[in-house]
Amino acid sequence: MGYLISLFLSTFFLEDVALATSIAWMGTGKISFQDAFLACFLGISAGDLGLYAFGKLASRFDFIQKSAWMTKHQKALEKMAKSEFLTYSIVISRIVPGTRLPTYLGAGFLNYSVFKFFILTIVSVSAWVLAALLAGHSLHALFMDHWVYSVALFFLGMHFIKSLAPKLTRRWDRKALLHSWRKYAYFEFWPAWFFYIPIVPYYAFLSLKYKSFLTPFYASPDVKHGGLIGESKWDFLKFLTPDDPATLPTIQVPRNTHFMELRKRIELKGLQYPIIVKPDVGQRGFGVRIIKDDFELTEYLLLSDFDLIVQKLSQYTLEAGIFYVRLPTESKGRIFSITDKEFPSVIGDGATKLGDLILQDRRARMIAPVYFERLRSQLDQVPQNGEKIPLAECGNHCQGTIFMNGQELDSEALTARIEQIARQIPNFYFGRFDIRYGSKEQLKKGLDFEIVEVNGSGAEATHIWDARTKLTEAYKTLFHQWRLLFEIGKQVRDRSPSNPRLNVGAFLKECLRVYFRKGSLSVSS
């Protein structure tokens, strides 16, 4: 008991020394692993909560009124206290020396949630103490012999803490954890890096067959990186005929454009709120926003650090993705795939909160965190009986929109119309037109639709994300798609053997940036 109390008290002075002493005493048998963990856990937790309490106490004094700096930045501080920035700071400060004292005092001073801080402290301290004691004692020799495993386990552990801790601090996210694990039973929700693993060896096989690793990059010779990834949306949209009824008024906006300058350009283009704003170089629905007023536009400009596309909001309510393919040796192309999109919603019953309505829906609950992030301010509200609450408005699968095989929409008239539009874009052989349309009947006639976006060689036949599609069928479609892309690239290269617009280093960097991009604009509106 004496060793336990000594360790407990020593954590209030130097917790690193307390942990090192615990490891030494465990090695000599003076204290058990359980007692060492209990003493360090209780002592460090009590110290962290004490710092928070001091900050909380300090907030009760009249510092804000007495400090000009605090008064000036009061709103910014209040916003930070409610944001995820402070949550992540509390978690990360556990492993960053010298940051805990100001972070924990600041959390208390800014009136950060007591419950959230308590949960974060319990989770992060227990993980930290457990990892330190195990690494320092039981697994020391193993980690020295297998350092690769130790590094992998460290990063996995940090990722687990970073992703799980914020969810445990929010009531609705904790509820979602009970259901969101179910999504991994369906390949449509698998992580992209995992789902596309079979494509890697197939790409290598096709590279050998076509005698070049770079063959697909020739398929769109006029576009950066061959249109596979990181291409500009404007590189396609700028060629669409302005007076074509399928063309939406669109402007490209360089990064760091001043708000007033952008407003002038919007007015000159004849655009009115609501409008669509999105990154000029985007992927997987990142940053797509419906902007309703000047405030939302200003906020978007402050959060973005990239070139933008500003576009008229289509008045059509239905959405589809039409995948077009044409070999350079062919006189006309064909529709390879059509994806029809359904925007999910829930219906109120006059008694159930919106958050619970989402969790009661068998599909919506699997990706509830996506909907919760978008509708967080409404989750505790009770919709009226019969009231329809849309869960998504932008047609991106990873943002919650339901994708279905829409091949029944194909027709000779639609194929001819898509061919006419594709011919407006120079050297366009392979890509997907994302459109908004009025009705299925009119679309099959090639009428009443508007082009929201054009995707190049990096596009895919998104009908594979239909829940009714089998995994084998999905891979069969993707393999066929890649064979076509390689064949197109070969034919273009044979016609014009000049090098494609490719910088390998920049391409790989863009891949990492796109597939691991996070931030305030990650969830579309």
Q: Which amino acid is at 423?
A: R
Measured CA to CA, the distance from residue 341 to residue 463 in angstroms comes to 9
Q: How confident is the model at residue 486 (pLDDT cuts 50, 70, 90)?
A: very high
Phi, psi of 184 (to 5 degrees): -70, -5
Specify the length of the chain in residues.
Answer: 525
For residue 262, CA distances in Å to 126, 370, 453 come to 50, 30, 21
Q: How confident is the model at residue 193 (pLDDT cuts 50, 70, 90)?
A: confident
E-strand stretches of 273-410: 275-279, 289-291, 308-312, 318-325, 334-342, 345-347, 388-390, 402-405
Residues in CB range of 347: below 8 A, 6 or more apart: 357, 383, 386, 387, 388, 389
> 360 in helix, strand or coil?
helix
> 341 in helix, strand or coil?
strand
Judged by average pLDDT, the poorest of 13-17, 433-437, 485-489, 513-517 is: 513-517
pLDDT digit string (tens) for 362-393? 999 999 988 998 888 899 999 999 999 999 87
Model confidence at 80: pLDDT above 70: no
Give me the pLDDT at residue 448, please.
95
Measured CA to CA, the distance from residue 478 to residue 217 in angstroms comes to 17
CA torsion 229-235-240-243 (nearest 10°) is 130
For residue 291, what is the DSSP state? E
E-strand stretches of 237-393: 250-253, 275-279, 289-291, 308-312, 318-325, 334-342, 345-347, 388-390
Residue pair 428/319 in contact (Cβ under 8 Å)? The answer is no
pLDDT digit string (tens) for 416-430? 999 999 999 999 999
For residue 351, CA distances in Å to 96, 179, 487, 489 come to 46, 22, 58, 58
Tell me the angle at which helices 33-59 and 15-27 cross, rounded to the nearest 10 degrees: 170
Judged by average pLDDT, the poorest of 36-50, 88-102, 106-120, 394-408 is: 88-102
Measured CA to CA, the distance from residue 420 to residue 322 in angstroms comes to 14
Model confidence at 144: pLDDT above 60: no
Mean pLDDT value across the chain: 82
pLDDT digit string (tens) for 24-74? 777 667 777 778 888 888 888 888 888 888 888 877 765 544 455 444 445
Is 96 or 256 the better-scoring residue by pLDDT? Answer: 256
Highest mean pLDDT among 85-99, 179-193, 382-396, 476-490: 476-490
Measured CA to CA, the distance from residue 125 to residue 94 in angstroms comes to 8
Model confidence at 523: pLDDT above 50: no
Tell me the angle at which helices 114-133 and 33-59 cross, rounded to the nearest 10 degrees: 150
Domain segments of the chain as ranges: 2-169, 192-246+316-340+400-515, 346-391
Measured CA to CA, the distance from residue 108 to residue 100 in angstroms comes to 12
Measured CA to CA, the distance from residue 488 to residue 483 in angstroms comes to 9
Ramachandran assignment for 141, one of left (phi > 0), alpha (psi -120 to 50 degrees), beta (any other): alpha
Is 5 or 404 the better-scoring residue by pLDDT? Answer: 404
pLDDT digit string (tens) for 337-366? 999 999 999 999 999 999 999 999 999 999
Give me the pLDDT at residue 65, please.
47
- Percent of the residues in the chain that have a pLDDT greater than 90, as a whole number: 39
Residue pair 449/438 in contact (Cβ under 8 Å)? The answer is yes
Is 254 or 496 the better-scoring residue by pLDDT? Answer: 254
Structure tokens at 91: 């978690």
Model confidence at 316: pLDDT above 80: yes
- Percent of the residues in the chain that have a pLDDT greater than 70, as a whole number: 80
Structure tokens at 267: 């007015």
Structure tokens at 279: 């990154």
* Mean pLDDT of the 393-399 span: 76
